[in-house]
Protein backbone atom coordinates (compact mmCIF):
# COMPACT_ATOMS: atom_id res chain seq x y z
CA UNK A 1 0.00 0.00 0.00
CA UNK A 2 1.30 3.44 -0.91
CA UNK A 3 1.52 6.15 1.78
CA UNK A 4 -0.43 9.34 1.32
CA UNK A 5 1.66 12.12 -0.22
CA UNK A 6 1.04 14.36 2.76
CA UNK A 7 2.02 11.77 5.38
CA UNK A 8 5.64 12.95 5.38
CA UNK A 9 4.61 16.59 5.64
CA UNK A 10 2.21 15.80 8.46
CA UNK A 11 4.93 13.90 10.32
CA UNK A 12 7.34 16.80 9.85
CA UNK A 13 4.80 19.28 11.19
CA UNK A 14 4.04 17.11 14.20
CA UNK A 15 7.72 16.54 14.91
CA UNK A 16 8.53 20.26 14.68
CA UNK A 17 5.71 21.07 17.12
CA UNK A 18 7.24 18.91 19.87
CA UNK A 19 8.86 21.22 22.45
CA UNK A 20 12.52 20.71 23.21
CA UNK A 21 13.64 20.61 26.84
CA UNK A 22 13.55 24.12 28.26
CA UNK A 23 11.40 25.52 25.47
CA UNK A 24 7.94 24.53 26.63
CA UNK A 25 7.30 27.78 28.50
CA UNK A 26 6.18 29.99 25.59
CA UNK A 27 3.64 28.68 23.09
CA UNK A 28 4.62 29.13 19.45
CA UNK A 29 1.67 31.42 18.73
CA UNK A 30 2.59 33.62 21.71
CA UNK A 31 5.99 34.39 20.21
CA UNK A 32 5.89 37.78 18.46
CA UNK A 33 7.14 38.38 14.93
CA UNK A 34 9.70 41.07 15.81
CA UNK A 35 12.34 42.05 18.34
CA UNK A 36 11.30 43.16 21.80
CA UNK A 37 13.49 44.91 24.33
CA UNK A 38 14.38 43.02 27.50
CA UNK A 39 11.75 43.31 30.21
CA UNK A 40 10.98 41.77 33.54
CA UNK A 41 8.39 38.99 33.27
CA UNK A 42 7.44 37.50 36.64
CA UNK A 43 10.77 36.25 38.03
CA UNK A 44 12.99 36.55 34.95
CA UNK A 45 14.25 39.00 32.36
CA UNK A 46 12.99 38.06 28.90
CA UNK A 47 13.71 39.35 25.42
CA UNK A 48 12.75 38.47 21.87
CA UNK A 49 15.10 38.67 18.88
CA UNK A 50 14.87 37.78 15.21
CA UNK A 51 17.71 35.75 13.76
CA UNK A 52 18.30 36.43 10.08
CA UNK A 53 18.96 33.45 7.86
CA UNK A 54 22.08 33.16 5.76
CA UNK A 55 21.09 33.21 2.06
CA UNK A 56 24.20 31.19 1.17
CA UNK A 57 22.78 28.16 2.98
CA UNK A 58 20.41 26.26 0.72
CA UNK A 59 18.79 23.69 3.03
CA UNK A 60 15.91 25.24 4.97
CA UNK A 61 16.64 23.24 8.14
CA UNK A 62 20.24 24.47 8.15
CA UNK A 63 19.12 28.05 7.47
CA UNK A 64 16.73 27.90 10.42
CA UNK A 65 19.39 26.47 12.73
CA UNK A 66 21.77 29.23 11.68
CA UNK A 67 19.04 31.85 12.19
CA UNK A 68 18.21 30.40 15.60
CA UNK A 69 21.83 30.72 16.71
CA UNK A 70 22.00 34.28 15.40
CA UNK A 71 18.75 35.14 17.17
CA UNK A 72 20.00 33.68 20.44
CA UNK A 73 23.21 35.70 20.15
CA UNK A 74 21.22 38.90 19.50
CA UNK A 75 18.91 38.17 22.45
CA UNK A 76 21.82 37.54 24.82
CA UNK A 77 23.49 40.76 23.66
CA UNK A 78 20.26 42.67 24.37
CA UNK A 79 20.10 41.21 27.90
CA UNK A 80 23.75 42.17 28.45
CA UNK A 81 23.00 45.77 27.36
CA UNK A 82 19.98 45.83 29.70
CA UNK A 83 22.16 44.60 32.59
CA UNK A 84 24.79 47.23 31.74
CA UNK A 85 22.18 49.95 32.15
CA UNK A 86 21.05 48.53 35.50
CA UNK A 87 24.66 48.19 36.68
CA UNK A 88 25.55 51.72 35.57
CA UNK A 89 22.56 53.14 37.40
CA UNK A 90 23.59 51.28 40.56
CA UNK A 91 27.25 52.31 40.08
CA UNK A 92 28.35 48.70 40.47
CA UNK A 93 32.02 47.77 40.51
CA UNK A 94 33.73 46.10 37.57
CA UNK A 95 33.99 42.81 39.48
CA UNK A 96 30.26 42.87 40.24
CA UNK A 97 29.47 43.62 36.60
CA UNK A 98 31.69 40.75 35.45
CA UNK A 99 29.91 38.38 37.84
CA UNK A 100 26.47 39.52 36.64
CA UNK A 101 27.47 39.09 32.98
CA UNK A 102 28.84 35.63 33.76
CA UNK A 103 25.44 34.71 35.27
CA UNK A 104 23.73 35.94 32.10
CA UNK A 105 26.08 33.92 29.89
CA UNK A 106 25.56 30.75 31.92
CA UNK A 107 21.89 31.21 32.81
CA UNK A 108 20.26 32.38 29.57
CA UNK A 109 17.68 29.86 28.40
CA UNK A 110 15.82 29.56 25.11
CA UNK A 111 12.14 29.41 26.11
CA UNK A 112 10.39 29.86 22.79
CA UNK A 113 10.89 30.08 19.06
CA UNK A 114 8.91 30.74 15.92
CA UNK A 115 10.23 29.86 12.46
CA UNK A 116 9.46 32.35 9.71
CA UNK A 117 8.88 31.62 6.03
CA UNK A 118 12.26 32.47 4.51
CA UNK A 119 14.26 30.62 7.15
CA UNK A 120 14.44 33.35 9.78
CA UNK A 121 13.77 32.42 13.39
CA UNK A 122 12.24 34.47 16.19
CA UNK A 123 13.59 33.35 19.57
CA UNK A 124 12.59 34.13 23.14
CA UNK A 125 15.45 34.03 25.64
CA UNK A 126 15.21 34.61 29.37
CA UNK A 127 17.42 34.60 32.43
CA UNK A 128 15.61 33.50 35.61
CA UNK A 129 16.33 35.73 38.59
CA UNK A 130 17.08 32.62 40.65
CA UNK A 131 20.33 32.34 38.68
CA UNK A 132 21.50 35.65 40.22
CA UNK A 133 21.28 34.22 43.75
CA UNK A 134 25.02 33.60 44.07
CA UNK A 135 26.05 36.83 42.31
CA UNK A 136 27.17 39.88 44.29
CA UNK A 137 24.26 42.06 45.40
CA UNK A 138 23.33 45.09 43.31
CA UNK A 139 21.08 47.55 45.15
CA UNK A 140 17.95 48.44 43.20
CA UNK A 141 18.44 45.77 40.55
CA UNK A 142 15.31 43.90 39.45
CA UNK A 143 16.91 40.54 40.30
CA UNK A 144 17.69 41.73 43.87
CA UNK A 145 14.04 41.44 44.96
Bridge partners of residue 112, in order along the sequence: 124
Query: What confidence tier does 55 reach under pLDDT thresholds 50, 70, 90?
Result: confident
* Contact by Cβ (8 Å): 99, 91: no
The three-state secondary structure class of 121 is strand
Residue 66 lies in a domain: yes
- The reply to whether 3 falls in a domain is no
Indicate whether 106 belongs to any domain.
Answer: yes
Residue 82 lies in a domain: yes
On whether residue 43 sits in a domain, the answer given is: yes
Let me know: does 127 contact 38? Beta carbons within 8 Å.
no
Number of domains in the chain: 1
Domain that holds residue 63: 21-144
Q: Does some domain include residue 37?
A: yes
| pLDDT band at residue 23 using 50, 70 and 90 as cut-offs | very low
Inside any domain, residue 96: yes
Amino acid sequence: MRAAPFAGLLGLLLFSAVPVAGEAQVAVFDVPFRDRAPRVVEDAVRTVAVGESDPRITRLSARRLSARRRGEARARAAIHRWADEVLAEARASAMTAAAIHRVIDEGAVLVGRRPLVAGEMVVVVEVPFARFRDAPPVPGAPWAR
